[in-house]
Amino acid sequence: MALFRCLAIALALSFSSCYLSTPSSATPSDGFLQCLSEKIPSELIFTPDSINFNGVLVSTIRNLKFLTNTTVKPICVVTVTDASHVQAAIRCGRMNSVRLRVRSGGHDYEGLSYRSVRSEVFGVVDLAKLRAIAVSTDEGVPMAWVESGATIGELYYTISKNNPEVAFPAGTCPTVGVGGHFRGGGMGMLLRKYGLSIDNIVDAKLVNANGDLLDRMAMGENLFWAIRGGSGESFGIVVSWKVSLVKVPSKVTVFNIAKKLDQGTIEILTKWQDVAPTLPSDIIVRVIVQGQQTIFQSLFLGTCDELLPIMTSRLPELNVTKADCSEMSWLESVAFINFGNNDTAALLNWSSTGASAFVKIKSDYVRHAIPKSAWQKIFSWFRMNGAGLVILDPHGGFIDTIPAGATPYPHRSGVLYNIQYIAFWPSNDDGSTAKSWVNNFYDFMGQYVTKSPREAYLNYRDLDIGKNVVVNEVSMFDSGKVWGKKYFGGNFQRLAAVKRAVDPTDYFRNEQSIPPLP
């Protein structure tokens, strides 16, 4: 008995440094908020009683469908301004058994950075005020340290203003946050030349479940591997990332060519599937299908005169001419792809004020070209009520050369293209028509896309493909496997092993976080 008591005291003492016990005098929420108020300036803590709580909560939300009264919201939002605040929030959370969600740019398609699907008590660590970007050179290679709360638009703008011949491979939407984007992959117009964002990250600073601030050396290669594309929020909060910048010429070429059904779009699209992934890696031609029209959107790292002979020989049906080309700086091309003009300063706008989208997204990967006869049927889906659009991002080139296990993102060799399905509806509509369109279309596409697993892209988060089951406060590996194999293929098991090593009690948890390996 005495031995048991000693063990219990020893365990209690050792656990007290892990912050797991709940003071008996207060509810977990009270204890958590009290603890925060002792460690973080009060003007950075917003509870539902604060006048600005709603303003702060919605400040970066992009998907307005999560702004309802029934949405499970946080008990506070902490707008940290320093890594030490992140450490304090995690320590207070663990001490009081209150979980945290982390938000950088707020673009999560299922809103998991600021809402919970289940009824639970949680706080949000909002990194929007941690958005510094510092550009440097390491042995002649341009680099940047970027804080997670910066947007990719700010990153593009800052590095390019510093040197117009450097760039960074990341997504096309400038308001996406660095933190969430890097933790899930980072797919954009430079992916065929330089891969995803995660293929160009060389260091990171992460606060782990014990509240320790770790760089790459301190966290070790397994954890560093996991946070780059493997659902970083499952392992901690990444405060900043060191990225290796890439070279681009002073002039690049872009084009947007629209082809209607009666202009041969089906023939071109059928051929595009094999051509786009095998073009030189300096060229990307992505596709947007909406209504009865396809837009072929391209970035080429060179001049129009260099591009034309390649397109004429590889995809003559598209009939790219000099009149289609616009030459500009790489930074202007980012603005052009987004806004259709060269207003590069607009890449710095990040607030969600004015966001009006209600969306549902799903994703697929195609490894075998879809036959022409099937495209006829596919186009009939875009005549239906509630029809949205799809974006096809070709792979091949550099992204293909990276082994599937080098990062958690496994959709590499053999992938022809990624499909993003987008359903959207206005605020005065309940979305049921658009949602059933996307669900039925996704079911129909099952016959043409990858199977066993049906691959999906983590950054296009979709809770329909599976949610964790939680037993005794720990997410179950078997339930995670259902969705995890789709996002991560054979890398899921390794992610779960890293989770077991660094967060065995599953403190960092959401509906699709990596469960600890049993």
Site residues for ligand FDA per CB under 6 A: 62, 101-109, 112-113, 127, 148, 171-173, 176-177, 179-181, 183-188, 232-233, 237-238, 459
Dump the DSSP string for 98-160.
-EEEEESS---TT-TTT-BSS---EEEEE-TT---EEEEEETTEEEEEEETTSBHHHHHHHHH
Give 20 or 463: the residue with its C-beta nearer to ligand FDA.
Answer: 463
Comparing CA positions, the residue from 100, 85, 410, 98 lying closest to residue 234 is 100
3-state secondary structure 376-387: HHHHHHCCCCCC
Give 375 or 424: the residue with its C-beta nearer to ligand FDA.
Answer: 424
Tell me phi and psi for residue 76, to 5 degrees: -165, 155
Q: Min. distance of Cβ 175 from ligand FDA in angstroms?
A: 7
Q: Min. distance of Cβ 278 from ligand FDA in angstroms?
A: 22
Give 219 or 266: the residue with its C-beta nearer to ligand FDA.
Answer: 219
Answer positive or negative: Cα dihedral of 399, 400, 401, 404: positive
Give 31 or 169: the residue with its C-beta nearer to ligand FDA.
Answer: 169
Q: Please report, for residues 21, 213, 381, 408, 494, the alpha-carbon distance to residue 231 in angstroms, rounded to integers and kept in the order given.
A: 27, 18, 32, 9, 13
* Alpha-helical runs (H) found in 27-80: 28-39, 53-58
Q: Min. distance of Cβ 173 from ligand FDA in angstroms?
A: 3
Give 324 or 393: the residue with its C-beta nearer to ligand FDA.
Answer: 393
Q: Min. distance of Cβ 408 from ligand FDA in angstroms?
A: 13
Comparing CA positions, the residue from 83, 77, 189, 202 lying closest to residue 132 is 83
- CA atoms of 65 and 61, how far apart (whole Å): 10
- CA atoms of 154 and 163, how far apart (whole Å): 14
Q: Min. distance of Cβ 313 from ligand FDA in angstroms?
A: 29
Q: Min. distance of Cβ 232 from ligand FDA in angstroms?
A: 4
DSSP 8-state secondary structure symbol assigned to residue 20:
-
Answer positive or negative: Cα dihedral of 495, 501, 504, 509: negative
Q: Min. distance of Cβ 203 from ligand FDA in angstroms?
A: 14
- CA atoms of 257 and 263, how far apart (whole Å): 11
Structure tokens of 456? 């999906």
Give 320 or 366: the residue with its C-beta nearer to ligand FDA.
Answer: 366
Give 108 or 503: the residue with its C-beta nearer to ligand FDA.
Answer: 108
Q: Min. distance of Cβ 43 from ligand FDA in angstroms?
A: 22
DSSP 8-state secondary structure symbol assigned to residue 456:
-
Q: Min. distance of Cβ 197 from ligand FDA in angstroms?
A: 8
Give 166 or 176: the residue with its C-beta nearer to ligand FDA.
Answer: 176
Give 176 or 301: the residue with its C-beta nearer to ligand FDA.
Answer: 176
